[in-house]
C-alpha cells in the first residue's frame, strides 16, 4: 500500500513537470511561432513617415491659402459670364461678401466685429495686399479716379463726420451707369451693401481710389 502511494505521487510529479516544461518559451522566434509575441515595428520609420505627412499637409495649406495666385483655370467651379471683371476682383469681392451681417466694432478686423477700414484691410490682406489701417491713410494710396472711371474692386471714401476729413471707406462691388454699389461696415447696421445713390452717401462722398494694379483687372 505504501509503495502504491509513493508510485502515484512520483507519477503525478513527472506528468506535472512535463506539462510545465512544455509551456515554457525560451526564445523570441519560438514565441512568434506560437503567436504570443510580435516584434515591435521600426519606430524610426514610422516617425519619419509621420513627419513627411505633416510637412506635406502644411505645404498644401500654405499653397491654397495664397488666394491671390488662384486663377479661373485653377477653379473647377468657375463659370465664365459676360462680365468683363477679372477673376481676381471677383474673388476679392466674394471674400468681402462673406462678412455681410457682421456687426460693427471700432478697431475690429474679424467676423466678431469690424469697422469700415478693418473690413477693407482684412479682405485685401487675404490676397497679400497690405493697406494702411485707417481710411484716411488708405485714401492716400493708389490712383484717384473720376466717378465714371470707377470699377469693381476700387475703393470709395466718405467724410461722414463734422471734422471734414475722410473717415469712411467701402469696396466697390458693382457699377450701374452712374450708380456705385459698395460693401462697407456702417456704425448702425454693420457690414452691408450701400449705394452712392442714397442721399447720405451722395452728400458725404469724397473720392474714389484704385488700389489694384492693371494686372488685377
What is the full DSSP assignment across 40-90?
PP-HHHHHHHHHHHHHHHHHHHHHHH-GGG--GGG-TT----S----HHHH
Q: Which residues on neighbouring strands pair with residue 191, listed in sequence order?
A: 185
CA angle 26, 27, 29 (to 5 degrees): 140
Which residues form the catalytic set? 116, 168, 184
What is the full DSSP assignment across 6-49?
HHHHHHHHHHHHHHHHHT---SHHHHHHHTS--PPP-HHHHHHH
Cα separation, 174 vs 179, whole angstroms = 8
Cα separation, 136 vs 163, whole angstroms = 12
Q: Is 35 left (phi over 0), alpha (psi -120 to 50) or beta?
A: left
- CB contact set of 163 (below 8 Å; sequence gap of 6+): none
Query: 1 to each of 4, 5, 6, 12, 209, how far by Cα in Å?
Result: 5, 6, 9, 17, 119
Amino acid at each position: 500500500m505504501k509503495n502504491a502511494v509513493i508510485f502515484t505521487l512520483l507519477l503525478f510529479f513527472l506528468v506535472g513537470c512535463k506539462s510545465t516544461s512544455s509551456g515554457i518559451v525560451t526564445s523570441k522566434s519560438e514565441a512568434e511561432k506560437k503567436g504570443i509575441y510580435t516584434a515591435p515595428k521600426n519606430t524610426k520609420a514610422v516617425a519619419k513617415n509621420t513627419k513627411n505627412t505633416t510637412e506635406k499637409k502644411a505645404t498644401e495649406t500654405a499653397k491654397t491659402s495664397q488666394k491671390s495666385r488662384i486663377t479661373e483655370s485653377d477653379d473647377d467651379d468657375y463659370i465664365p459670364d459676360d462680365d468683363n471683371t477679372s477673376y481676381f476682383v471677383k474673388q476679392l469681392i466674394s471674400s468681402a461678401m462673406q462678412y455681410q451681417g457682421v456687426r460693427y466694432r471700432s478697431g475690429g478686423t474679424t467676423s466678431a466685429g469690424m469697422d469700415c477700414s478693418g473690413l477693407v484691410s482684412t479682405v485685401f490682406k487675404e490676397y497679400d495686399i497690405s493697406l494702411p489701417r485707417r481710411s484716411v491713410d488708405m485714401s492716400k494710396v493708389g490712383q484717384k479716379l473720376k466717378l465714371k472711371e470707377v470699377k469693381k474692386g476700387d475703393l470709395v471714401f466718405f467724410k461722414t463726420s463734422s471734422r471734414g476729413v475722410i473717415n469712411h471707406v467701402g469696396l466697390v462691388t458693382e457699377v450701374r451707369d452712374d450708380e456705385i454699389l459698395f460693401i462697407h461696415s456702417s456704425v448702425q447696421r454693420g457690414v452691408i451693401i450701400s449705394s452712392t445713390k442714397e442721399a447720405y452717401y451722395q452728400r458725404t462722398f469724397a473720392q474714389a481710389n484704385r488700389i489694384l494694379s492693371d494686372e488685377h483687372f
